[in-house]
Amino acid sequence: MDKIKLQKEISNYKPEMTSDERLKAYFKGERVDHLPFNLMSLDMAYGMNLGYTLKETDQIENLIKIIKKRCQEYKVYGISEGLNLRAMGYALGSSGIFPENDIDHVEKYLLEDEIDMNLLEMPDPYKNKFLKRKIDNARRLKESFPDHKISTFVAGPMTVLSALRPIEKLLRDLRKNPQGVKKLLDFVLEANMKWIEVFNKEFGDVGVMIADPVSCDDILSPKQVKEFSFPYLKELTDRIYKVNNIKANLHICGHTKRQWENLTNLQIGSFSVDNCHDLSECKEIIQDKLSLMGNVPPVDVMRNGSVEDVINSVKSCIKKGADNKMGFICATGCATPANSPKENLDAFVYAVQKYGKDAKIGEIPQAVWED
């Protein structure tokens, strides 16, 4: 299917519900117009297709324009402001480089030489320069879109540490200075909660996404996950639920199969599984406890694939995941690359609307078998 035919096909599918209405009804067990979906980091990719640089999509005036256009075209409602994988590290004192058309990265780590707790100061999001700008942006978004639900996101404790100390030194510390690492984990957990508490104070109970790639099986051994990752993720999710009255969602990039059973013991509502895994395998483990999110490959399909590749991948995900007992959200397996072509974003939305039609929790939509 080429771009011209895709646009003609898209015109045949008009959503009957807003994204928020659909999500609420779906998880109540009602039949909805089509499956809920989540193109992760959509605003960056959509914004670049409007002609903005990646850096420009982070400027609040530009972001407001991007969201307005995105809502008009895709009927995807909702706003979000939060802390990416390195943001808390910057807030605490690491310095970063922010390229015009690439993701930011740490230039100088606060704890480059050693774990020194004396270098750390608990941040106040109202006073910390980096976090205050984020809160101000969130206020602007809510003022511009008062009827939209706002959400936020944070990095998991182990991932925050990787923005304070180089990963190779951090992994060495797990063996040679485990108590120092645990003190640092306690600190960043509290720092994350400062952000969550202020966000709740400003906007009430909100959804939270936690991203924790450093906790994947590719980086940590089962013993290290048990000692340095899971206890802190558990405390973080417990406390978020206590503050927000809404369970957080969790995404871990990379392999996580060894952790699936344990993840069901966290206070999370949904697990977003990386595209390196088969959705149906994860579903068999978590389906009685968690909703499932995933997992169209962001690079191979969304950025580098064809329209047909995107459509086929969405169909495959629906067939494998949609009958998850606690629900399924068709999503990318990680953040949508900012330079993904517009036709592939369109193809994802089109495929969910067509092949996820008349969705109900715990069922595979009949439409996915009809074409």
Please report the pLDDT score of residue 153 as a whole number: 98
Position 264 in a domain:
no
Position 265 in a domain:
no
Please report the pLDDT score of residue 11 as a whole number: 83
Please report the pLDDT score of residue 179 as a whole number: 98
Position 16 in a domain:
yes
Give the type of residue at 167.
I
The answer on 244 and 330 residing in a single domain is: no
Does residue 260 contact residue 298 with C-beta atoms inside 8 Å?
A: no
Angle at 299 between CA 293 and CA 305, to 5 degrees: 105
Of 196, 222, 253, the residue that ends a domain is 253
**How far apart (Å, rounded) are the C-alpha atoms in residues 237 and 247?**
7
Angle at 370 between CA 317 and CA 325, to 5 degrees: 40
**How far apart (Å, rounded) are the C-alpha atoms in residues 344 and 313?**
11
210 φ, ψ to 5°?
Answer: -110, 130
Q: Which residues pair with 37 in a beta bridge?
A: 330
Please report the pLDDT score of residue 185 as a whole number: 99
Distances (CA, A) of 125 to 94, 131, 154, 161, 228: 16, 5, 13, 19, 26
Distances (CA, A) of 29 to 207, 245, 325, 363: 20, 20, 11, 10
Mean pLDDT, the chain, integer:
97
The answer on 98 and 220 residing in a single domain is: yes
Position 12 in a domain:
yes
**How far apart (Å, rounded) are the C-alpha atoms in residues 339 and 36?**
24
Please report the pLDDT score of residue 8 as a whole number: 87
Of 219, 253, 287, the residue that ends a domain is 253
The answer, yes or no, to whether the previous bond of 249 is cis (omega within 30 of 0) is no
Position 266 in a domain:
no
In this structure, the strands spanning 357-359 and 32-34 are: antiparallel
Please report the pLDDT score of residue 10 as a whole number: 87
The CATH number of whichever domain residue 156 belongs to comes to: 3.20.20.210
The answer on 70 and 30 residing in a single domain is: yes
The answer on 40 and 114 residing in a single domain is: no
Angle between helices 60-74 and 129-144 (to 10 degrees): 40
The answer on 73 and 210 residing in a single domain is: no
pLDDT digits (tens, 9 = 90+) for 177-223: 999 999 999 999 999 999 999 999 999 999 999 999 999 999 999 99
Please report the pLDDT score of residue 110 as a whole number: 99
Q: Number of structural domains, the chain?
A: 2
The answer on 237 and 105 residing in a single domain is: yes
Q: Which residues of the chain have pLDDT under 50?
A: none
97: burial class by Cβ within 10 Å (0-12, 13-18, 19+)? exposed
Position 261 in a domain:
no
Domain of 344, in residue numbers: 1-77+274-366
Token representation of residue 115: 């774990």
Please report the pLDDT score of residue 67 as a whole number: 98
Give the sign of the dihedral formed by CA 19, CA 23, CA 25, CA 26: positive
Please report the pLDDT score of residue 311 as a whole number: 97
For the beta carbon of residue 147, count every other beta carbon within 10 angstroms.
8
**How far apart (Å, rounded) are the C-alpha atoms in residues 214 and 168?**
12
Quickly tell me which residue has 């009602």 as its tokens: 30
Please report the pLDDT score of residue 266 as a whole number: 98
Going by C-alpha positions, the residue among 220, 241, 234, 287 that lies closest to residue 260 is 287
The answer on 247 and 115 residing in a single domain is: yes
Say what the pTM is: 0.96
Please report the pLDDT score of residue 2 as a whole number: 81
Please report the pLDDT score of residue 1 as a whole number: 81
Please report the pLDDT score of residue 226 as a whole number: 98
The answer on 112 and 20 residing in a single domain is: no
